[in-house]
A and B are shown apart, each in its own frame.
Chain A
Amino acid sequence: MHRKAREPSVMTRFIFFRTQQALVTVFLVTAIIFVIIRLVGDPTHLMLPPEATEADRALLRDEMGLSDPIPIQYLRFVGDLVQGDMGTSYRFRRPALDVVMERLGATLLLTSLSLGVGTLVGIPLGVASAVRRDTVVDILAKGVAIFGQAAPPFLLALLLVRLFSVELRWLPTSGYGSFSNLILPALALGWYSAAGILRLTRSSMLEVLGSEYVKMARIKGLPAHVVIYKHALKNASLPVLTFMALQFGILMGGAVAIEAIFAWPGVGKLILDSISNLDYAVVQAAVTVSALIFVGLNLAVDILYAIIDPRIRLG
C-alpha cells in the first residue's frame, strides 16, 4: 500500500477523489445556507416603505422569485451560480458577488497578515520550546500558548486598543488604509493562531527530535543547529502546514468580530451587516466564497501533502 502511492495512477485517483469530495462539500454548503437564510424572514418589509400595501409586497416577492417553492428557487440559484451570478444585493443594487469580491481583499489582507504573525511567533517559539524542553523558555512558551488559546481575539483587541491607542496613543483605534491601521487587528487575530501553531510545532518537533535519524545525524557529529533546523524542522513542519490551512478558516471566523471592532471593511463585517439587513444574496455569496476559499485551501494542502509525503494513506 505504501509503495503503490508512488505510482501516478494512484495519485491521480487521489487528487480526483479529493477534488470531487471538495466540490460536493461546497455544493452542500450552498444548499444548506440557502435553506437556512430563506428562514430568516421577508426582506420586502425592509425594501419597501412602511406604507406599502400587501399587494405591493406580493408583487415584489414575485419579481424577486421569492414566492416560488424553495427547491425551485434553489435550482434557479444553482443555474445562475454556475454562470458566476450569485444574485443581486438589494441594499447595494449591484451583483452580490461584486460586493463580496470588493471586500474580500481587506479580509484576506487581515487574515494572511495574522497568519504571518502567528507563524513568526509560533514556529520559533515552538522550536525553542521543544529543544529546551522543561526549561524556563519552555514554560514561558507554554504560558503564551495557554493564554493565547483562552483569549478570544475580540477581547485581545480591546486590551490592545486600551494599551496602544488609549494609554500610549501610538496607534489608531480603528480605520482602514494605512499600515498603522493594520497592526492592532493583525496582532489581535494573530495571537490566537500563534498559540495553536506553537503547540503543534512543539509536539511535532519533540516527536521528530526523538527519532532515529535525528539521533544518527547527531552521532555523525553534525552541529545541533543544523540538525534542528535542517533535519528536524523540515520534517516537523508538515503537520504544521496542514494546521495552518485549518487556521485560516478559524481566522476568517475570528475576523468577523475584529472587523467589527476596527471598522475594517471586510467580508466578516459585510456578513454581519447583511444578516441584520436581510440581504439574502450577499449573505449567500459571502458564505459561498468563504467556503470555496477554505475548502480549496485544504484541498491544496492535502494534495501537496500527498505529493511531499508518499507514506500517507491515499483515497
Chain B
Amino acid sequence: MVDETGERPRHVDVPVATGVTDTSVAVKAGQRSTFWLKKLQVGFALCVVLVVIVACALSDVLAPYDPIAISLGATLQPPSAEHWLGTDQLGRDILSRIMKGGQVSLLVAFTAVFLAGVIGGLVGVIAGYVGGVFDAVAMRLADVQFALPAVILALVLVGAVGSSLFNLVIVLSLANWARFARVLRSETLSLRERGFVELAKLSDASTTRIVLRHILPNVMSTFIVLATLDIGIIIILEATLSFLGLGVQPPYPSWGTMIADGRAFLEQAWWISIFPGVVLILTVLSGNILGDAARDRLSPTLSTKW
C-alpha cells in the first residue's frame, strides 16, 4: 500500500467511474466551448446563495410583514404590489414567511451538516488511523445508517424524541454522518501509509499529534466538498420531515411546512406552495452546483456517488 511515487492510491468500496476524462475520441472538438457556461453556473449559484442567506438572516429587518401575524381581512390574496408573493389562508405574507422560514430551514440544515460532518469526520479519521475494534464497530454502525433510507430513519428517530428544533438537528445529523465517516476513513487509510506520516511516527510524534497535525489538514478539502454537497441533501430531508408534519413545528414557518400548508389550496391559491418550493429548489440547486465546483477544484477524484 506504500506508494513510492507518493501518489495516493484510492480506496473506493465500489469501483465506479470517477469524474471526467479528457481522452475521449468522440468529443475532442469543442471541449472548452462550455467552459463559460460552467463559470456562469457557478456565478449564478453564488448569487442565489448570497441573496437567500442575506434575505433569510436579516428577515427580521428586511421582511415587509410580520411572518406570523394573522390578517383575516387579507386571506388567499394572489401576488400583488402589496404582497409580492401573495398571502396564505390566514392572510400571512408569503414573502415574509419564506424569509423567516428560510432562516429556520437554513439554520437547521447548516448546523446539522456541521454536526454530521464533525461526528462522521472524526469517527472516520480515527477509525482509519487507529483501526481495530473502533474501526469495526464504527463501520458496522455506518452500515446501519446506510441500510435504512434517511427519511425512514429520521422519521423513526423524530417519532421517538419529538420534533423540537434541537432534536431535529440531532436527528438530521444522525441520519447523515456515515458518508463523512466512510469517505474520510478511506482517505485516512491511504494517508497513513504516506511518507510524511511515517516520518512523524519515527520522530516519536503522538497519535493525537499525527491525527491533528498531519491527517486532519489533509482531509480538509474532501471534508469541505462533502459538506457542501450534503447541504442540499439535508435541506431536502428537513423539508420532507416538515412537510410530513414531523419537522419544524408552528409557530415557526419552514419551507417544508409552508409547502404542506398550501397543499389544500393547490387549486385556488397555488402561490402558497409553489413560491417556497421554487426558493427551495433554487437554493438546493445552487448548493449542489457549488458542491460540484468545489469537488472539481479540491478533490477531482472523489466519486459523485457514495
A: residues with CB less than 8 A from B are 21, 24-26, 28-29, 32-33, 36-37, 39-40, 130-135, 138-139, 146-147, 149-152, 154-155, 158-159, 161-162, 166, 196, 199-200, 203-204, 206-210, 214-215, 218, 224, 236, 238-239, 242-243, 246, 249-250, 252-254, 256-257, 260-261, 268, 271-272, 275-276, 283, 287, 290-291, 294-295, 302, 305, 309, 311-312
Contacts and interface: CB of A to CB of B under 8 A. Distances in A.
Contacts of A208: 17
B305 A243 contact: yes
B30 interface: yes
Nearest to A228: B26
A210 B24 contact: yes
Interface string B15-47: 111111111111100110110010000000000
Question: What 4 A-B pairs are tightest by C-beta distance, nearest first?
Answer: A253-B149, A253-B151, A150-B285, A275-B159
Contacts of A135: 30
B252 interface: no
B150 interface: yes
A243 B19 CA distance: 15
A21 B143 contact: yes
A134 B30 CA distance: 7
Given A134-B30, A236-B17, A29 B156 contact: no
Contact of A166 (B18, B21, B266): B266
25 contacts: A28-B141, A28-B144, A29-B144, A131-B26, A146-B285, A146-B288, A151-B281, A155-B259, A162-B274, A200-B17, A200-B305, A203-B18, A203-B20, A204-B17, A210-B22, A210-B24, A215-B25, A236-B17, A252-B149, A256-B152, A261-B263, A287-B148, A295-B147, A302-B14, A305-B14
Chief secondary structure at chain A's binding surface: helix
Contacts of A256: 151-152, 155, 240, 244
Contacts, number: 193
Contact of A152 (B21, B26, B156, B236): B236
B209 interface: no
Contacts of A200: 16-17, 304-305
Contact of B277 (A139, A158, A203): A158
B273 interface: yes
B243 A209 contact: no
B25 A154 contact: no
A287 B144 contact: no
Contacts of A309: 15
A145 B145 CA distance: 26
Counting chain B residues whose Cβ lies within 8 A of the other chain, the interface size class is: 35 or more
B259 A154 contact: yes
A287 B160 CA distance: 14
Nearest to A276: B159
Contacts of A268: 152
A150 B281 contact: yes
B17 A272 contact: no
Contacts of B82: none
A313 B155 CA distance: 36
Nearest to A284: B156
Given A159-B274, A162-B270, A210-B21, A287 B152 contact: yes
Nearest to B285: A150
Contacts of B127: none
A308 B19 CA distance: 23
B201 interface: no
A33 B27 contact: no
A26 B21 contact: no
A108 B127 CA distance: 36
A134 B33 contact: yes
B151 A139 contact: no
Interface string B251-290: 0000000010011001100100110010011101100110
A278 to B, nearest CB: 8
B147 A210 contact: no
A158 B266 contact: yes
Contacts of B86: none
A196 B305 contact: yes
Contacts of B14: 239, 242, 302, 305
A312 B15 contact: yes
A25 B147 contact: yes
A189 to B, nearest CB: 12
Contacts of B289: 146
